[in-house]
Amino acid sequence: MMKISSDKVGTILIVDDEPQNIQVVGTMLAAFGYDFMVANDGEQALERVRARLPDLVLLDILMPKLDGFQVCREFQEIEGMEEVPVIFLSASDDKNSIVKALESGGFDYVTKPFNKAELLARVRTHLELKFMRDECSELLSNTERFLEIMAHDLKNWIGSASFSAQLLGEMEGLPDKAAKIVGTIDESTGQAIHFIDDFLANARESKTEIKFDLQKVSLNQLIAELVKQHDQRARAKRISLKVTLTDEERMIETDRTALRRVLGNLISNAIKFSPAGSQVNILMENTKTTTLRVSDEGPGFSDADMEELFTPYRRLSARPTGDEVSTGLGLSIVKKLCDRLGVTIKVRQAEPGAEWLLTFGE
């Protein structure tokens, strides 16, 4: 087990309505170099942790006004307290009380009168585990920041290479062999930029609550724009895009950028995994709600795939049919955005292929 650093002993909050109990526990902790705070009831305990987060809490159960179970549940609503271990101290060894303590968010349970060596061992163990979690969290955060910086820089460098390749491709009299190489560079850099965009989007959406710009958006118009955007790539694979929209324009209140990313991803995936000569269908239905169906004639999803559809970085059994890049991030981003937009997303197997259903207004 990782040992905590010698200069990090931890601050412990003792919550008990009996002054004698606080004195006994406080004296014991002080003898071993621990810092501690005290609270004489549940309300005071909540005030203490709002002012300063402890590293561990020793919490009595039977107290006036708020009992230990209520206090522990309210701890979970305070930012940062969900990671702070709570050890219940109680004279009751009733199994129902122990279960209730753990269900309310407690990490451990020690009965009174307690053995000092046992209590100290549990305090030390839970503090070490907390500090390990803190260090791992900080390491993960630093790694994510480093990767995001690298991704931004890589995107700039690759973008410059892509732009240069496009300029070369527009030159007149370029030999066929050189034109083919330039085309390969352009395609490869485009795929790399697509991967980086997905990575950055996933990192951003995982860490922060997205603030949407809600406005009335024409679903018909948005679909038409996306079909036009993807039509050239579909033609290159000899895939036809069949679009069936309602005559009545459907306006929905949503964030246009987020919804465009959702629909664009589903259409792009349908083209990416469809065989040459097949058809991708985009159908809009208006009843009490509006449902958009995007279906393809690709391989569909296996049973194992269905359980992992929205897991980040998880590659599914199907493979792109035209050497396109697959990041394993697109569907996880789609699901996050749909959840936050209030759009219901489902997928079902079709014969052949798969069909995605987006329902608006449920």
Q: What is the pLDDT of residue 123?
A: 94
Q: Give rounded-to-5 percent helix, strand, coil for the chain.
A: 50, 20, 30
What residues does each domain of the chain span?
11-114, 140-207, 214-360
Count of CB atoms within 10 A of residue 335's CB?
Answer: 16
Element (H, E) at 21: helix 19-31
Q: Could you say which residues of the chain have pLDDT below 70?
A: 1-8, 198, 200-210, 313, 322-329, 362
Cβ–Cβ under 8 Å, residues 109 and 90 = yes
Q: What is the pLDDT of residue 306?
A: 84
> Is the bond leading into 320 cis (omega within 30 degrees of zero)?
no
Q: What is the pLDDT of residue 49?
A: 94
Q: 80-139: per-residue pLDDT in tens? A: 898 999 999 988 778 888 899 999 999 999 988 888 999 999 999 999 999 999 898 888
Q: What is the pLDDT of residue 2?
A: 42
Q: Which CATH class is domain 11-114?
A: alpha beta
Q: What is the pLDDT of residue 6?
A: 44
Q: What is the pLDDT of residue 325?
A: 62
Q: What is the pLDDT of residue 3?
A: 44
Q: What is the pLDDT of residue 321?
A: 78
Mean pLDDT rounded to a whole number for the chain: 85
Indicate the CATH number of 214-360 among 3.30.565.10, 3.50.30.60, 3.40.190.10, 3.40.50.970: 3.30.565.10
Whether the predicted model's global pTM rises above the 0.75 cut = no
Q: What is the pLDDT of residue 1?
A: 41
Question: How far apart are alpha carbons 321 and 342 in whole angstroms?
Answer: 32
